[in-house]
Structure 1
Amino acid sequence: MISKEHIIKRFTSYVTIDTQSDPNSDTTPSTKKQWDLANKLAEELKAIGMQDVTIDDNAYIMATLPSNVSHNVPTIGFISHFDTSPDFTGANVKPQIIKNYHGGDIVLNKEENIILSPDYFEDLKQYIGQTLITTDGTTLLGADDKAGICEIISAMEYLINHPEIKHGKIRVGFTPDEEIGRGAHKFDVEKFAADWAYTMDGSQIGELEYENFNAASAVVTIKGKIVHPGYAKGKMINSMYIATEFINSLPRIETPEHTEEYQGFFHLHTINGDVEQTKLQYIIRDHDKGHFEARKEVMQKLTNELNSQYEREVITTEIKDQYFNMREKIEPVMHIVDIAEEAMKQLNIEPLIKAIRGGTDGSQLSYMGLPCPNIFAGGHNFHGRYEYVPVESMIKATEVICKIAELTALKEKTT
């Protein structure tokens, strides 16, 4: 279908452009450098023959592949994001091509002794004999989610060049700032005008997801009182000790490193403090809405209990909801998951239907009126130096997009 060389060339042309987003910026996109790839993508969509290509003032890209069937079928969409995570540098990415992977250690960087090993990353064993694209050990790769973009554009190009494959109207969308939770914030669902869509933003081959965490952030601020330590008896209040008590009062095993599958957690990701003030930043996650609400209540009750030990309020906890489990919006339209599952089966891919232990643009888009399950893009070990993607997985993801389009064209639109 699509040659390895074609996929490799396209993908590496994307990942060598730095598009790291910045959570501390209040602009959209959050970094100017995201425009470098955004503008390239808009031009590439035009070059392959897509129609109605637009890029707005916030770098959101949309384009259309018109229907080539005479009957009325649903309009579907495919969406990916072009920013990369702020967790690890995305500057000066130097992708390495590992042909016919032998199954052992891959030396990413000989000078710094950085090794990608199947002894630690067991998923590598699935890809013996395949072509892998890795980092050089000093940056992330950017398969999250430039692999998804590569697959969507490659699929559209293939459908344009093979009109014998029948499909309805297809919309594609590329977004900035997904990695900092804002990818859907300024996405114009009405303009996109699809009946449903799929984000190509999953990991290993076969993944198909329509459940994700309910998510909230929590900022816990502890106010202490500083006085000279030599004369502090009965006067000093050390905010760091109160912060330690708060941390230790939450369930220790309900943290990311102790949980899996449908288990939720409290995750303390940042501490800044001194005697006078300490600030704790948490994220709260749970697939179950009831458990999610209970977790927020636990933090608020703990805040009240610790405050009751002092003559004044020493702790404030600000909790903000971030996104919700898209299962609630997908289950009424489960046929859109069924189509993707059938597409994989027809391509001899085993569907791996599971819940996302994280978030996705698709969650927010589903609540904005665009039901949007998530499909594999092929990459592994996102957000760090050990990220890699098998080229064969990207080819398969491209084929899945084409097959979904083909299967959807068999359905008459009813409304």
Structure 2
Amino acid sequence: MKNIKDRFISYVTIDTQSDPDSETTPSTKKQWDLANKLADELREMGMEDVTIDEHAYIMATLPSNVDHEVPVIGFIAHFDTTPDYSGTHVKPQIIENYDGGDIRLDKEGEMILSPDYFEDLKLYKGQTLITTDGTTLLGADDKAGITEIMSAMEYLLEHPEIKHGSIRVGFTPDEEIGRGAHKFDVEKFGADWAYTMDGSQIGELEYENFNAAGASIRFKGKSVHPGYAKGKMKNSVLFAHEFLAALPENEVPQKTSGREGFFHFYEINGDVEHTEVKGIIRDHDKDLFEGRKNLLKKIIDDLNSKYGAVATLEIKDQYFNMKEKVEPVMHIVDIAEQAMKAIGITPIIKPIRGGTDGSQLSYMGLPCPNIFAGGHNFHGPYEYVPLESMEKATEVIVKIAELTADRYRNEKR
């Protein structure tokens, strides 16, 4: 089997940043560079039915090696990286036998990866860390997941004594801009259920995520010479300010955790005549989620009643909590939990404060919990991944395949 560290580095040094302003799929041509490489590697290692479609979605099959019927399971990861931070010229650094102290990322020593700030580092003392050089993100989100799936498939091919049913592999573009599942052909994939390898800390196992919506509010004003504006000017910037001030001040990302929802307004542009505010709405609870959308509508209605048709609100649902689709088939979570325990990992079952391809795929008919890929501090220069976490994630995939085959052999009996 190819060295996991070498495989990971070969992937992260290929720039695959996606672009939310593009209307193509994939959203950037450079995503094809890694997509084609992955398809070639899958063929070379001996996977069957390897396909890459016109939108760069990759699928492949590891055939069953048992004589009893086993559900088809899948493993999915995305190869794009976030547009939030540069993924060009990634230069990974290898920190062997991490001593538990500060890590200087750049030559100047201005970028410090410190356990005093990033406390999770303390979990990995003595392990091998892969970090950035402080100038780019790393790309463990989600090239760690791709590495683990590829390595697990290669291991199973090299060890036919490990019994498993048919396994489908899927790699997607544009997950980081919310489109990873949009053109994923669930029927073609043909799995009964799947797992995204797109979590963070070792042990994470997630089947709950936010209900999510985007919100855009446009405010219309009337510009008049400020010296003669009394009773005439309508300042759209002030309408936007009044809207933001009416939101619950503690229901924001920096003041919430766990299953607590929030409003996050992240962009404001405008002048006296026109101002636009953009944001997102998040909540794990469906009723609270709807309540948040209704609160925005009420605030806008109040502003329009007060000032006269000065604001318009647009809300678009983005994805929903996969819990609703996974709970009826909870055995798929149980198998993953059992696999982790079997190789000495303590499962950390918690809700995702975000979303994955899995949430959209679950509503498309493919129940899809999320499993750790090992990386931390995604979307920025402090991103890192412990090599041992990627190795363990690879073992989890292999064990899930083995346990699924064993479970259904026993059920047949």
The CA distance in 2 between the partners of 1:364 and 1:320, in whole Å, is 15
User: Does residue 281 of the first structure (1) align with residue 281 of the second (2)?
Assistant: no
Q: Of 311, 331, 334, which aligns to 1:338?
A: 334
1:360 corresponds in structure 2 to: 356
Residue type matched to 2:351 in 1?
A: A
Which whole-Å CA distance do the structure 2 matches of 1:404 and 1:258 have between them? Answer: 37
4+ runs of 1 displaced by more than 6 Å?
none
Deviation, 1:200, is: 0.1
Equivalent residue in structure 2 for 1:401, among 390, 397, 403: 397
Residue matched to 2:180: 183
1:17 aligns with 2:26: no
Structure 1 equivalent of residue 102 of structure 2: 105
Show the counterpart of 1:372.
368
Specify the SS of the correspondent of 2:258: coil
Aligned to 1:174: 171
Instruction: Give 1:297's aligned residue.
Output: 294
Letter in 2 for 1:375: I
Given that residues 103 and 124 in structure 1 are in contact (C-alpha distance below 8 angstroms), is that contact kept between their aligned partners in structure 2? yes
Q: Secondary structure at the match of 1:410?
A: helix
Give TM-score, length-normalised by structure 1: 0.98
Q: Distance in 2 between matches of 1:282 and 1:370?
A: 29
1:125 corresponds in structure 2 to 122
Cα distance in 2 between the residues matched to 1:182 and 1:256: 23
For 1:216, what is the secondary structure of its paired residue?
A: strand
Q: Secondary structure at the match of 2:207?
A: strand
Counterpart for residue 392 of structure 1: 388
Partners of 2:342 and 2:320 in 1: how far apart? 32
Alignment of 1:182-331 (within 5 A): 182-310=179-307, 312-331=308-327
Alpha-carbon distance, 1:111 to partner = 1.8
Given that 1:74 and 1:411 are in contact with CA atoms closer than 8 Å, whether structure 2 keeps it comes out as no
**Distance of 1:223 and 1:179 partners within structure 2:** 32
Q: CA deviation at 1:108?
A: 0.1
Alpha-carbon distance between aligned partners in 1 of 2:221 and 2:362, rounded to the nearest angstrom: 43
Identity across matched positions, percent: 74
Residue 412 of structure 1: how far off its partner (Å): 2.7
Separation in 2, partners of 1:395, 1:8:
9
Tell me the distance in 1 between the aligned counterparts of 2:255 and 2:390: 31
Report the Cα distance in structure 2 between the residues aligned to 1:136 and 1:269, rounded to whole angstroms: 28
Residue 303 of structure 1 deviates from its aligned partner by 0.2
CA distance in 2, matches of 1:110, 1:53: 43
TM-score computed with the length of structure 2 as normaliser: 0.98
8 Å CA contact retained: 1:14, 1:146? yes
Distance 1:391 1:246 in 2: 47
Q: Deviations over 1:250-290 (max 9, x none)?
A: 00100000000000000011111111111000100000000
Are the counterparts in 2 of residues 209 and 356 from structure 1 also a CA contact under 8 Å? yes
- 2:294 corresponds to which letter in structure 1? E
Letter of the 1:10 counterpart: R
Q: Could you say what secondary structure the match of 2:350 adopts?
A: strand
1:152-194 deviation per Cα after TM superposition (whole angstroms, max 9, x unaligned): 0000000000000000000000000000000000000000000
User: Residue by residue, what CA displacement relative to the aligned partner does 1:284-327 show, whole Å, maximum 9, x if unpaired?
Assistant: 000000000000000000000010012x3100010010000000
| Partner AA of 2:228 in structure 1 | Y
User: Could you tell me which residue of structure 2 aligns to residue 90 of structure 1?
Assistant: 87
Shift of 1:229: 1.4
Q: What's the CA shift for 1:221?
A: 0.5
* Structure 2 spans left out of the alignment, 5+ residues: none
CA distance in 2, matches of 1:137, 1:218: 33
- In 2, are the aligned partners of 1:64 and 1:172 still within 8 Å (CA)? yes
CA drift at 1:234: 1.1
What secondary structure does 1:412 align onto?
helix
Is 1:8 the counterpart of 2:5 in the alignment? yes
CA distance in 2, matches of 1:110, 1:240: 43
Give the whole-Å Cα distance in 1 for the aligned partners of 2:293 and 2:74.
35
Q: In the alignment, which residue of structure 2 is the partner of 1:410?
A: 406
1:46 aligns with 2:43: yes
- d(CA) in 2 for partners of 1:398 and 1:343? 11
Distance in 2, matches of 1:266 and 1:122, equals 26
Q: Secondary structure of the residue that 2:100 maps to in structure 1?
A: coil
Give the secondary-structure state (helix, strand or coil) at the position aligned to 2:33: helix
CA RMSD of aligned residues (A): 1.1
Shift, 1:112, TM fit = 5.4
Q: Are the counterparts in 2 of residues 79 and 172 from structure 1 also a CA contact under 8 Å? A: yes
Distance (Å, rounded) in 2 between the aligned partners of 1:159 and 1:80 = 18
Q: Assess if the C-alpha contact under 8 Å between 1:365 and 1:371 holds in 2.
A: yes
Deviations, residues 311-354 of structure 1 (Å, cap 9, x unaligned): x3100010010000000000000000000000000000000000
What is the SS of the residue equivalent to 1:364?
helix
Q: Distance in 2 between matches of 1:255 and 1:100?
A: 38
Aligned AA (2:178): G
Q: 1:245 to 1:290 in 2, by over 3 A?
A: same
- Range 205-214 or range 105-114, more displaced: 105-114
C-alpha displacement of 1:83: 0.3
Q: Distance in 1 between matches of 2:226 and 2:29?
A: 48
Q: Amino acid of the residue matched to residue 380 of structure 1?
A: H
1:308 aligned counterpart, secondary structure: helix
1:366 Cα deviation after fit:
0.4
